[in-house]
Amino acid sequence: MEVIETRIDTSSEEYHRNYEAMEALVAKLQKELRIAREDRSEKAKARLAQQNKLPVRKRLELLLDPNTPFLEIAPLAARGMYDGKIHGAGIVSGIGVVEGREVVIHANDPMIKGGTIYPMGVKKGLRTQAIAMENRLPIIYLVDSGGAYLPLQSEIFPDADDGGRIFYNQAVMSKMGIPQICGVMGLCTAGAAYIPAMSDEVVHVKGTGAIFLGGPPLVKAATGEEVTADELGGASVHCRESGVSDYFAEDDAHCIQLIRQIVRALPPPNKTKIGRREPRPPLYDPKEIYGIVPEKISTPYDVREVIARMVDASEFLEFKTLYGPTLVCGWAYIHGYPVGILGNNGVLFSDSALKATQFIQLCDKRGIPLLFLQNISGYIIGREYEKGGITKDGHKMVNAVATATVPKFTVIIGASFGAGNYGMCGRAYSPRFLWMWPNAQIGVMGGEQAADVMVTVKNDQLAREGKPPLTEEQVRQIREPIIAAALKEGDAWYSTANMWDDGILDPAKTRDVLGLAISTALNAPIRDDVYGYGTFRM
Ligand code: COA
């Protein structure tokens, strides 16, 4: 493999301007993450201390092996939604190392509205379970939740991807043989009672943990019976009498210790071996990405400069360099793991789409994970290209991306517009993980373009009706709200709040996150036994 020769002038004014812009975005990211982690009311803190419970981050700290990384999922989910305080959708979830083994953790934060489940909390729970299923990782639930956030019950309960799907997934995971371990560290009321009930093993904390289908107020209202939460569903009841729980814990710390022992006793994982090499850092400093990525998303730049700062020793074997140059494809290693990389270097043409299709097939056949670096305004449009079959060729690429079964990873490093999002493995194409950089934008098309389309549609309609075209003022009235909505709803912050991604990454740390993600993916077979695609339109 050859070292990518950089052409970046780190002393140029443009480099410094870009660097400062990205640095400001990364500072904003760090600030937002800090708020999501720390912003809790004094009332909630006092209540937790009074109950002798540990904060969720402390529980995690005790659970995870010391000095191991925790790959947090969607830490900014629900940002700016509800009352603006349901940080992380009230859940901390992610992939961490327990007793030397990669596991998925899903923990309610009792300091956020009693750990109740908001609609985005359901979405996060389902995403966390999907990660466990796709990567065949054991899952640990630390439950401490008042159940459904009742004022929004219609958004949580009835539909296919609502609350019921969490327990459905638990049954499916059980059938798949994915270990599920539950710590009952607070209330598990009503639906939430099924999380421990449907887990393989349940550790129950004395005094604070309780499982019941109806809490004391409901029991009193329904039957007149007066009982405390502990009498109704405490550790003693469920460990001694009902058999719902399996291990009796004296307190939070003891519960975590028991969970660690359960993980230690699991059969060892059978990770896929994919010819890992000795990891080597890139030749160029990953932080230089700040100065390379242009401040304005539409400004072109060479994606090889990003690849050079992401892959081991900045070495890259480029595939079909001279053909379809608007898509860079090639092989490299990240933290020692082989990857096939596809990075945009402009609009997708027929040749670039065909090159992608061939490259994806090769990686899939060889069992090499795919990394998509998305910075795409779309597939080329116009009469000449339609005649040349761009839709047919775009289809082949989309088809290959959809059906390749090796692990796929997507990082949206700039624009993610139109069908380009599909061809470059957007969320709907089931990458194992998808992240955004803080400068990224996503949408059917950019705001300006969408506004122009709507003005043209309106003018065509007026012309058909024999009426005069829109005045300047009317054009402004159509354009402004469309542009404003696209700007607000197309940025990385909005995306991550809605969980269209797994989180926003510092570009300089992306390589490390990818290393963890690839390692995670290797807990599952590298690809389906049956290698194959649908029919490619020729
Ligand atoms: N829906 C909406 N809000 C809820 C809620 C629910 N199910 N359960 C609790 N809350 C809110 C409380 O109103 C309170 O809000 P505030 O901080 O704005 O005043 C906050 O969550 C904390 O509740 P609080 O009771 O003060 O804290 P706690 O630590 O003593 O107890 C619970 C937390 C969850 C154990 C307790 O509130 C409870 O039992 N809730 C009802 C559980 C239930 O029956 N759920 C059925 C739904 S399936």
Q: Residue 181: beta bridge partners?
A: 140, 201
Residue nearest to atom 29 of ligand 1 (CA): 114
Which residue, 81, 88, 95, 139, is CA-closest to 111? 88
Radius of gyration of the chain (CA): 25
Residue nearest to atom 12 of ligand 1 (CA): 113
| pTM score over 0.75 | yes
Instruction: Give CA 45 to chain center in angstroms.
Output: 29
C-alpha of residue 516 to centroid of ligand 1, in Å: 36
> What's CA 326's distance to the chain center, in Å?
27
Distance (Å, whole) CA 119 – CA 148 = 9
Q: Kindly report the backbone phi and psi dihedral angles of residue 319, in degrees, each rounded to the nearest multiple of 5, phi listed first.
A: -100, 130
Mutation probe of ligand 1 site: the residue of 187, 211, 218, 219 with most atoms within 8 A of C-beta: 187
Ligand 1 centroid, distance to 73 Cα (angstroms): 25
Nearest to 103, CA basis, from 526, 431, 520, 525: 520
**CB-based pocket (< 6 A), ligand 1:** 47, 113-114, 116, 146-150, 187, 189-191, 215
Kindly report the number of other CB atoms within 10 A of residue 45's CB atom: 12
Amino acid symbol at 390 = I
Task: Provide the 3-class DSSP secondary structure of residue 487.
Answer: helix
Per-residue pLDDT 10s for the chain (538 aa) are 899 999 999 999 999 999 999 999 999 999 999 999 999 999 999 999 999 999 999 999 999 999 999 999 999 999 999 999 999 999 999 999 999 999 999 999 999 999 999 999 999 999 999 999 999 999 999 999 999 999 999 999 999 999 999 999 999 999 999 999 999 999 998 888 999 999 999 999 999 999 999 889 889 999 999 999 999 999 999 999 999 999 999 999 999 999 999 999 999 999 999 989 999 999 999 999 999 999 999 999 999 999 999 999 999 999 999 999 999 999 999 999 999 999 999 999 999 999 999 999 999 999 999 999 999 999 999 999 999 999 999 999 999 999 999 999 999 999 999 999 999 999 999 999 999 999 999 999 888 889 999 999 999 999 999 999 999 999 999 999 999 999 889 999 999 999 999 999 999 999 999 999 999 999 999 988 777 888 999 8
- Among the atoms of ligand 1, which is closest to the Cα of residue 47? 29
Query: Which residues contact residue 387 at a Cβ distance below 8 angstroms, ignoring those fewer than 6 apart?
Result: none
Q: Could you tell me if 535 and 318 are in contact, meaning their C-beta atoms sit under 8 angstroms apart?
A: no
Handedness of CA 47, 49, 53, 58 (dihedral sign): positive
- 502 Cβ neighbours under 8 A, 6+ residues apart: 73, 74, 127, 433, 434, 435
**Do 462 and 164 form a contact (C-beta atoms < 8 A)?**
no
**How many CB atoms within 10 Å of residue 467?**
10
β-partners of residue 338 are 333
Query: Counting atoms of ligand 1 from 1, which one is nearest the CA of 187?
Result: 35
DSSP state of 504: B
Type of residue at 215: G
Q: How far is the CA of 122 from the centre of ligand 1 (A)?
A: 17
- CA 248/CA 162 separation, integer angstroms: 31
Per-residue CA distances from 474 to 72, 462, 469, 479 (Å): 47, 13, 9, 9
Q: How far is the CA of 520 from the centre of ligand 1 (A)?
A: 35
Using CA atoms, how far apart are residues 306 and 400, in angstroms rounded to an integer?
Answer: 25
- Residue having the nearest C-alpha atom to atom 9 of ligand 1: 114
Phi, psi of 413 (to 5 degrees): -100, 0
61 neighbors 142 (Cβ within 8 angstroms)? no
Task: Take residue 145 and report the two structure tokens written for it.
Answer: 């939740």
Q: Locate tokens 């490259």: which residue?
A: 359
For strands 71-73 and 91-98, give the pairing. antiparallel
User: What span, in angstroms and rounded, lies between the C-alpha atoms of 92 and 124?
Assistant: 9
Nearest-CA residue for atom 31 of ligand 1: 114
CA–centroid distance, residue 116 to ligand 1 (Å):
7
- Classify the C-alpha dihedral 446-448-450-456 as positive or negative: negative
